[in-house]
Each structure stands twice: as C-alpha cells, then as structure tokens.
A and B are shown apart, each in its own frame.
Chain A
Amino acid sequence: MTVEDTKQSSIAMRDPDVPAAIEVAHLVKVYKTTRAVDDISFTIARGSITGLLGGNGAGKTTTIAMIMGLVLPTSGKVSVLGHAMPEQSADVLGRMNFESPYVDMPMRLTVRQNLTVFGKLYAVPNLRGRIAQLASDLDLTDFLDRASGKLSAGQKTRVALAKALINEPELLLLDEPTASLDPDTADWIRQHLETYRKSHNATILLASHNMLEVERLCDRVIIMKTGRVEDDDSPTGILQRYNRTTLEDVFLDVARGRNREAAQ
C-alpha cells in the first residue's frame, strides 16, 4: 500500500462491513487525443460530503459522469454503493440522484408535473406527500403549478434540487449546485444540503468552483488538475499543507502551478 493509499483510506474512515459510497480505481478517460481523466483513484465513505475542486477542464464533470454511468471510462473501475458501474447500474440508480447545470427539466411541464414524472420513475411511495414535503422544505409551494421554464434561476435550482432529492437518495452527485445563484439563495441551498446529509446519513459528492462553499460543506476535498488528483485531504489538512488561510488561495496555487513548498 502506498502512502497515498494509506492517506485515502484514513480519510475515508471506512467500516469494512459497509461498502464505500464510491470507489474509483485507476480511472482513465481519453477523448480522441485528450486525456480528460488520467489514472485517478479515491474512495468516498458513506455519510461524507466531498468536494471535487479544479479549474475548467480539470476533469471534474467527466469524473462525475463516469460515476453516474453517463460516460464510459477508457479504463479503470467505478463502484457505487457496492455495485460496479455501469454493469450493475440497474441495482443502484434508484438509490442515487444528481443535479447538474448541464441538464434541465422539461420547461413546458409545471414543477408539480416534473416532480410527479420523476417521482414515478423512481417509484417514490406516497408521491403526493413527498412532493408536498419537498415543496415545503425547499419553498416551492408558491410556484408548484407554474411551468418550469418560467422560473427564475434560483427557483429553477431549488426545483432541480427537489428532483435530485425526490427519491431520498443515499448518494447525491452535484455539479456546481449553486452556480449563478445570488449569495442568499446559494447559502440557503447549502444549508439544506447539510440538513439533508445529517437527516439521511447521505453521501454527497459535489464539484464546485466556489471555495467558500467547499470550505463550509465538505469534510474532504479532492483537487483535480488536468485530469489528475493533485491533492486529497480534509479542508484543514490542505490549508495547513499549503500554509494558506483560504481554499481560494490553495486553488490559485494549484491552478498557477505553484507547488506546496513554493506556496509556503
């Protein structure tokens, strides 16, 4: 076992009897001549919130898409809730969900209709009750019967989050969950995610450019650069190693190629 492996295992704090929420081993994705993801490995423990950080083109979205089974890896393995992806995706897709700015919900359908359709797809019991609950939790009641295309950016994000939570997922994958939101709405969303994680012991993996968000929410941070894992630790551990006070400074160090020693 390498030092890196030991560190990852200790961060994950895995119970050997319960499969990890996500296990990624030597994952590679090559698009024609571009190596979008380059031999990354990590394990994410259940009940944790992990931030996937990195600049544009770092490979965050491709990594998340491979975990979801939307993109097939060139090589390497992904396991979600103990099931190999994408081979056993049918066993696990009902237990996870996601939100991403790269997808929308049908705009002509009302919020209630969209949630009804997705609730039925996920076989949510007592669907009406679940929609009412989400509407109350995420403050959707006033526009439940409005077409999704007529909502503001903040309202759309809340609806997308409601869709992502409709099946009370054990694993939630979020790609830029608060992108283009005002600080108040973004803070509100983060608060809800924290509450959800605690109440459901859910695992959350989120890709973000927002360092404050990652500092506030995450137990662990994986920093990616040009398809590789550049660093992987708790936010405190990373700040100490780079001798920085904010993750934003660490992000800039990594993006501009300053190594830890130089940063110090």
Chain B
Amino acid sequence: MSLVEHTRGLAMHRINAMVLRYWYLLRSSWPRMLELIYWPALQIITWGFLQSYISQNAGFFAQAGGTLIGAVILWDILFRGQLGFSISFLEEMWARNLGNLMMSPLKPIEFLIALMLMSLVRLAIGIIPMVIIGAVFFHFNLLSFGLPLIAFFCNLIFTSWSLGIFVSGLVLRNGLGAESIVWTLMFGLMPLVCVYYPVAVLPAWLQPVAWCLPPTYVFEGMRALLFDQVFRTDLMLGALAINAVLFAASFAGFLALLNSAKRAGSLISGGE
C-alpha cells in the first residue's frame, strides 16, 4: 500500500486528539518543559563563547562570524526534531497506552502526523530561546539567513521526521529495549553530515556516503551562504530529493515493523 493510499480517509479530528493528548502531557509537567529549553540553551552558550574566542584569534572564522553558532542551531533543529518526534512516541510506550491507540480508529499515518506536529511544538519551545540567546549575547541573528533559512529548516525537519519514524518502528517492534537508539542514532550521523567542517575534510571514500545524507547539503549550504554569500539552490534541491526518498522509505519501514510487531505479538506484550 502506497503512502497516498494510507492518507485516504485521513481525519483531522483524530490528529487533533493526539496533539491535544501530548499538549496536556507537556503542560502538566514543568520538568518536561524545562528540559526542552535547558539543553539547547546550554549548547548555544557553550558554543557561543567558543565562537567568540575563535573570532578574536583566527582570521578565518572572523571572516564568517556565526559559522559555529549557525551550525549549532541547525544541528539542534535536526537533533531536537527527531527527539521531539520520538519522545512523544516513547510516551505511549512508557504509559502502556499504545494498545489503546492501535485499537482505536486512529490510523498509523494520523498517529505519525500528530507526532510530527508535536515535534514542531517541542522544537519551537527549545529553539526560540536558543535563537534569542544567540542574538542577544553573541550577536548572531539566525533570521539574517533570510529565505534560505526556510529551505534549511524544511530539509532538516524532514530528515529528523524520517529518522524519528524509522526509530519509532524499531521501538514498536523490539520494545523499550531499543529505546537507546532514539537517543544515540543522530550522534552516529553527526560526523558524516559535516556539521562543523566541509565535506572535503572527509576521506575521499567517505564523501559519497556523506552526500547520501540530506543534512550534509544543508550544512554545506549554510557555509556557502556565510563564507561566499551564495544561496546554493542545487544543494537544497538535492537534499529535498533525498529527503523524499528517505521519508517514503521510513514510512514503509514503519509499516513493515508495525506488521512485524503484530505478528510477534509485541503490541500486547510491550516487551523489553
């Protein structure tokens, strides 16, 4: 069954119900809310000071002020986007609520859309203070990227959702024993997507692998914008094309893992 067929009969009221469920949860717990802000704020402060130090001592970085801070913020969009998606999913596993949802008229695609919307909400709560700190304390205005920022953001968030969907499928199939993948997967990709250095730094044999990952195009695009003041549409379109394939593959993978979980009886055992 294709992605299009799964979207037939999509009901907004069910998606709204799920978003409402996560919103109730979020607002009922101040530690959850604080955690969303705490780590991004810590990141931007640490890297902001490092950027300031380097700018004062190295001409190269002084030419492109904000490269580090820009990379930190874009990386956080990618990382927190996936985490926001996956944590909302894990909440259902932790609450042993998945059976209730799977037995309700909620379709898998509606569930995933609700998780995507919640990842945006969680991301906004974490990233907005981060952007404000960057602007106020380190004179880095993310919005100065202008329209390219939209292209950067869309590509990163699509990648984060694709990975979130796939990882959620793994947890669904293998139980909470697979939970650690949620927290660690993105860090495994970090060296390959070249957040803080150009792709050219990688060994020649590794570069084609890096170019298979959409975030690589975004970080290269950001550096092109900051160093050369050029918006590379070719990079953004390349990222978008790979993202489309990645998203479809993740969705298909999720459905396959869901079916596998139903065959194995994991949905009623919730096994670890």
- Residues on A facing B (Cβ under 8 Å): 29, 31, 36, 61-62, 65, 68-72, 86, 90, 93-94, 97-98, 100, 102-110, 113, 116-118, 120-123, 147, 163
Give the interface SS of chain A, mostly helix, strand, loop or mixed.
mixed
Within 8 A of A (CB), among B1-45: 9, 11, 13-14, 16-18, 20-21, 24-25, 28-29
Q: How far is the CB of B14 from chain A (nearest CB, A)?
A: 5
Q: How far is the CB of B40 from chain A (nearest CB, A)?
A: 23
A72-B262, A120-B16, A123-B11 known; A103-B96 Cβ under 8 A: yes
- How many residues of chain B have a CB within 8 Å of chain A? 36
- A71 lies within 8 A of B104 (CB): no
Q: How far is the CB of A99 from chain B (nearest CB, A)?
A: 9
B268 interfacial by beta-carbon distance below 8 Å: yes
- A65 lies within 8 A of B265 (CB): yes
- A104 lies within 8 A of B95 (CB): yes
Residues of B within 8 A of A163 (CB): 100
- A102 lies within 8 A of B104 (CB): no
- A62 lies within 8 A of B265 (CB): yes
- A113 and B16 CA atoms in complex are apart in Å by 13
Q: How far is the CB of B110 from chain A (nearest CB, A)?
A: 9
- B267 lies within 8 A of A122 (CB): no
- A97 and B99 CA atoms in complex are apart in Å by 11
In the A-B complex, list the 7 residue pairs whose CB atoms are closest, starting with the nearest: A120-B17, A103-B99, A104-B96, A117-B21, A94-B105, A72-B262, A106-B95
B103 interfacial by beta-carbon distance below 8 Å: yes
21 contacts between A and B (CB under 8 A): A36-B265, A65-B267, A65-B268, A70-B103, A70-B262, A71-B263, A72-B263, A86-B262, A103-B100, A104-B95, A104-B96, A104-B97, A107-B95, A108-B25, A108-B28, A109-B21, A117-B18, A117-B24, A121-B17, A121-B18, A121-B105
- Residues on B facing A (Cβ under 8 Å): 9, 11, 13-14, 16-18, 20-21, 24-25, 28-29, 91, 95-107, 259, 262-265, 267-270
Q: How far is the CB of B4 from chain A (nearest CB, A)?
A: 16
Q: How far is the CB of A175 from chain B (nearest CB, A)?
A: 9
Chain B residue at smallest Cβ distance from A101: B96
Residues of B within 8 A of A106 (CB): 21, 24-25, 91, 95, 97
Interface centre among A94, A98, A118, A163 (most CB of B within 10 A): A118
Residues of A within 8 A of B96 (CB): 102-104
Q: How far is the CB of B82 from chain A (nearest CB, A)?
A: 22
Query: Residue B100 contacts which of A29, A36, A118 (CB distance < 8 angstroms)?
Result: A118
Residues of A within 8 A of B20 (CB): 116-117, 120
Query: Residue A120 contacts which of B14, B28, B265 (CB distance < 8 angstroms)?
Result: B14
Q: How far is the CB of A234 from chain B (nearest CB, A)?
A: 29
- A94 and B100 CA atoms in complex are apart in Å by 12
Chain A residue at smallest Cβ distance from B99: A103
Query: Residue B95 contacts which of A71, A105, A123 (CB distance < 8 angstroms)?
Result: A105
A117-B24, A120-B17 known; A31-B103 Cβ under 8 A: no
